Structure 1
Amino acid sequence: MQEKDVLPDENTVPEHAQQERLVFKGCILPDRTELQERILKAPGDVIVGEHSRIEYGISGYDVFIAESCYLKGDVIAEGDLRIGNFCDIDGNLVCDCDAFIGEGVTIRGRLSVTGNLDIGDNVMIEKGFDARGIIEVRNPMPVILYILLYVLTMLRIDHEEEIDQFIENLTAEDANPLILPSRSHLDEFQLLVQTPIIIGSSCRLHGLIRGDKATIGDNTTLFGSIRARDSVSVSRGAIIHGNVEAENDVVIEENVRILGNVEGHRVTMDEDATVEGVIKSSGGLTIQRKKI
Structure 2
Amino acid sequence: MLEKLVIPKNTKFDERSIVLEGDALIGANSRLGYGIIARKVIVGDRTEIKGDILGKEEVRLGAWCTVKGDVISKGDAYIGEFTSIEGRLTVYGDLEIGRNVKIKNGFEARGLITIQDPMPIVMFIFLYILAMLRLGKYEEIEELFEPEEFLSPLEIPENSEVDLDYIKTRKDVLIDGSRVLGNLRCRDAKILESELYGSVRGRNVIVEGSRVHGIIEGRDVYLVRGSVVLGKITADNVYMEEGCVVEGSIVGRKGVWIKPHVELPEEILNDDATTDQE
TM-score (norm 1): 0.78
Opposite residue 208 of structure 1, the aligned amino acid is N
CA distance in 2, matches of 1:33, 1:139: 36
Question: CA, structure 1 residues 56+193, in 2 after alignment: closer, same or farther (shift >3 Å)?
Answer: same
1:265, distance to aligned residue in structure 2 (A):
1.0
Matched, 1:120 2:95: no
Corresponding residue of 1:276: 247
1:153 match: secondary structure:
coil
1:287, distance to aligned residue in structure 2 (A):
0.8
Structure number with bigger Rg: 2
CA distance in 1, matches of 2:144, 2:216: 35
1:80 match: secondary structure:
strand
1:209, distance to aligned residue in structure 2 (A):
0.7
CA distance in 1, matches of 2:146, 2:206: 29
Question: CA, structure 1 residues 67+204, in 2 after alignment: closer, same or farther (shift >3 Å)?
Answer: same
Matched, 1:244 2:216: yes
Indicate the RMSD between aligned Cα atoms, in angstroms.
2.0
Unmatched runs of 5 consecutive residues or more in structure 1: 1-22, 143-148, 156-173
Q: Say which of 222, 229, 234 aligns to 1:258.
A: 229
Question: CA, structure 1 residues 151+92, in 2 after alignment: closer, same or farther (shift >3 Å)?
Answer: farther
Matched, 1:224 2:198: yes
1:177-196 equivalence runs, <5 A? 177-196=153-172
1:34, distance to aligned residue in structure 2 (A):
1.3
8 Å CA contact 1:29–1:178 kept in 2: the answer is: yes
8 Å CA contact 1:102–1:139 kept in 2: the answer is: no
CA distance in 1, matches of 2:257, 2:247: 17
Corresponding residue of 1:199: 175
CA distance in 2, matches of 1:178, 1:270: 30
1:152-171 equivalence runs, <5 A? 152-154=146-148
Opposite residue 222 of structure 2, the aligned amino acid is V
Q: Say which of 56, 66, 72 aligns to 1:94.
A: 72
CA distance in 2, matches of 1:66, 1:111: 18
1:38, distance to aligned residue in structure 2 (A):
0.4
Q: Deviations over 1:144-196 (max 9, x none)?
A: xxxxx9994346xxxxxxxxxxxxxxxxxx95211111011122210100100
2:147 match: secondary structure:
helix
TM-score (norm 2): 0.82
Q: Deviations over 1:192-216 (max 9, x none)?
A: 0010001111x11112011001000
Corresponding residue of 1:215: 190
Structure (1/2) with the larger strand percentage: 2
CA distance in 2, matches of 1:175, 1:70: 23
CA distance in 1, matches of 2:40, 2:175: 20
Opposite residue 53 of structure 2, the aligned amino acid is V
Opposite residue 249 of structure 1, the aligned amino acid is D
CA distance in 1, matches of 2:151, 2:89: 29
CA distance in 2, matches of 1:152, 1:233: 34
